[in-house]
Amino acid sequence: MTRRLFSTVAFLGLTISSITSCDSLWTSFTRVDPSICDPSVNACSMTSAIEFESITPQQVPYSGGQPITITGSGFSPKTDALLGTSPLVNQQIVSDQRLSGSAPAAPGRCGKVDLTLKRADGAQLLVPNAFTYTLDPYYGKIPANPMPYIDTANNMIVDDFDLDQQPDLALSVSKQIIIFSGFGTPAEKLLIPFASISSSFIQPIHFSTATIPKNNGFINLDGTRKTLAIYSLNPATGGFDTNNAFGFQYEVRFVLTGDLDQNGNDTILAITSNLNDTTMDSLFIAKFNTTNNKYQPELTPVALQKINRIDSIIFADITNDKYPDIITSTGGRIVTLKRDGSEGPELVRNANSLTSLIAGDWNGDGKMDIAGIESFTMKLVMALNNDNGAWPILSIDAGITAASQSTLVAGDMNCDGKKDIVIMPTASTGAVVKIASLNPLNQIEVKNPLSNLPNGPAAIGDFNRDSFPDIAISKNITGTGTRFYFIPGAIP
């Protein structure tokens, strides 16, 4: 930045200035503008552009108050820094390349905000999403009066079922499927697609037809776990129509959906037990047929492909090509699975088997990582995708008492842009919800922000559309049924 040093004398009401710069030495008549000149150093700043280099730290809790340092150039003699619409508190211009102050409190929400630098001469620079307010620790308002429902809840899923560009919540109970549209908002409405239906598990599914270019439906696994049925939204009636159904000889252990064929239509993958050989499972795949707009199996359900017995299976885009890969855990090994049932590359070899696999970008590097519960030690294990074939393992004792009685749910609970892991007990009473996150040093931190909660299936999303992560929990009460809890995230 070029500075001009002024020596001034008064003559006939004018200020005669002898100006020295790094470029030249010259004399001129001028009136010094005090709004852009700093008399303490007897210097003025040229009208060069403001440049931004860094802000440290890049995130703080929503309460604010932490020291903030911004580096760049063009800050002299007077530049104001705003996080969102709020100026830094007690701001100081340390030098032309550095200014400091304290973070103001969050503007009523968590997440990313813009940084704006405004200089007194009118120069301005906007840095989008440069700073983050975190919801740390997470805070949710536990309702005094949960919503009662009959029957026993099995699982919950989140998707935009009514195609209004907002997340909906679907709940599988033993004799019904319940869908909340606009959940937690004044426009909330309850959809019950069927008066009575046997259900043990539901899963979202997406496909397109000539008449319906986008269809967000669901798969229902019945109470016997031997029949899969696909349902799709009928825009004309607002109800759900049956697309197809498949019956199996043995119980279905896992059901997954994803765009394996990279054609915009989800593929169905189901894993069934194999009673003839307890060391093996059976693999079933069904694809969407664009000719008749129906799902059809690659093999008949009674002639499934045998695969090694698996402990857990998920779809996760670990290759970063925008399409899901099949990831399985078996005997302490996490491996990819090919469509023909054969194993692909081994990703992780662990001392004990991992169950309850989930995927998410735990460290915020843009690559999909994996996590699960170690079956013997009950530790939470994270496997980080370094995109070079190596998967470093991190683990921590998160107070999990039994893998079969805990659910892992991925979601950005503290608004820092990275996925966290919510550890949800499903069988204990007075449950403590734990949230596991990776800190900047790549260490797992486990916090217990909510206690004395109900236990049961859980889902995460911004259901009430206020930019805070919410938690939905269904508690199963023996002899009573299910009580449904909506816990909206908020700033205390």
Between 144 and 354, name the one with better pLDDT. 354
User: What is residue 484's predicted lDDT score, i.e. its pLDDT?
Assistant: 75
Between 72 and 192, name the one with better pLDDT. 72
Q: What is the pLDDT of residues 149-191, one digit of tens each?
A: 556 678 889 998 888 888 888 888 878 888 888 777 777 787 7
Q: Report the chain's C-alpha Rg in angstroms.
A: 29
Percent of the chain at pLDDT exceeding 70: 82
Q: What whole-number distance in Å separates Cα of residue 426 and Cα of residue 50?
A: 54
Helix (H, G, I), strand (E, B) or coil at 129: strand
Q: Check whether 72 has a pLDDT greater than 50.
A: yes
Bridge partners of 59, per DSSP, are: 132
Distance of CA 411 to the CA centre of its chain: 4
Average pLDDT over residues 404-431: 80
Q: Check whether 15 has a pLDDT greater than 60.
A: no
User: What is residue 23's predicted lDDT score, i.e. its pLDDT?
Assistant: 37
Q: Check whether 46 has a pLDDT greater than 50.
A: no
Average pLDDT over residues 143-149: 65
User: What is residue 77's predicted lDDT score, i.e. its pLDDT?
Assistant: 86
Q: What whole-number distance in Å separates Cα of residue 58 and Cα of residue 440?
A: 11
User: What is residue 378's predicted lDDT score, i.e. its pLDDT?
Assistant: 87
Q: What is the pLDDT of residues 339-361, one digit of tens each?
A: 777 888 889 888 788 889 999 99
Average pLDDT over residues 419-437: 77
Q: What is the pLDDT of residues 252-275, one digit of tens each?
A: 999 999 999 888 999 999 998 876
262-265 long-range CB contacts below 8 Å, 24 or more apart? 262/323, 264/207, 264/208, 265/206, 265/207, 265/208, 265/290
Q: Check whether 43 has a pLDDT greater than 70.
A: no
Task: Name the phi and psi angles at 132, rounded to 5.
Answer: -130, 130
User: What is residue 150's predicted lDDT score, i.e. its pLDDT?
Assistant: 57
User: What is residue 41's predicted lDDT score, i.e. its pLDDT?
Assistant: 39
Q: Check whether 14 has a pLDDT greater than 60.
A: no
How many CB atoms within 10 Å of residue 84?
Answer: 17
Residue 425 near residue 374 (C-beta atoms within 8 A):
no
Q: Check whether 6 has a pLDDT greater than 70.
A: no
Average per-residue pLDDT for the chain: 81
Average pLDDT over residues 434-453: 83
Of 134, 130, 136, nearest to 83 by C-alpha is: 130
Q: Check whether 13 has a pLDDT greater than 90.
A: no
Q: What is the pLDDT of residues 76-126, one digit of tens each?
A: 889 999 999 999 999 999 999 999 999 999 988 888 999 999 999 999 999
In the structure, what pLDDT confidence band is assigned to residue 441 with cuts at 50, 70 and 90? confident
* Four-point Cα dihedral 339, 341, 347, 351, nearest 10: 150
Q: Check whether 455 has a pLDDT greater than 90.
A: no
Average pLDDT over residues 479-486: 70
Is this structure's pTM higher than 0.75? yes
Q: Check whether 482 has a pLDDT greater than 90.
A: no
Percent of the chain at pLDDT exceeding 90: 36
User: What is residue 477's predicted lDDT score, i.e. its pLDDT?
Assistant: 64
Q: What whole-number distance in Å separates Cα of residue 359 and Cα of residue 464?
A: 25
Render 264-324 in DSSP notation, one character per residue: SSPEEEEEEE-TT-TTEEEEEEEEEETTTTEEEESS-TTSPEEEE--SEEEEE-TTSSSS-
In the structure, what pLDDT confidence band is assigned to residue 19 with cuts at 50, 70 and 90? very low
274-283 long-range CB contacts below 8 Å, 24 or more apart? 274/250, 274/306, 275/250, 277/306, 278/309, 279/308, 279/309, 280/306, 280/307, 280/308, 280/309, 281/253, 281/306, 281/307, 281/308, 281/309, 281/310, 282/250, 282/306, 282/307, 283/307, 283/337, 283/341
* Four-point Cα dihedral 350, 353, 358, 362, nearest 10: -30
Average pLDDT over residues 323-329: 92
324-338 core/surface letters (b: 16 or more CB in 10 A; e: else): bbbbbbbebbbbbbe
Q: Check whether 207 has a pLDDT greater than 80.
A: yes
Length of the chain, please? 492
How many CB atoms within 10 Å of residue 473?
Answer: 25
Q: What is the pLDDT of residues 368-400, one digit of tens each?
A: 999 999 888 889 999 999 877 789 999 998 877
Q: Check whether 12 has a pLDDT greater than 60.
A: no
Q: What whole-number distance in Å separates Cα of residue 375 and Cα of residue 405?
A: 12
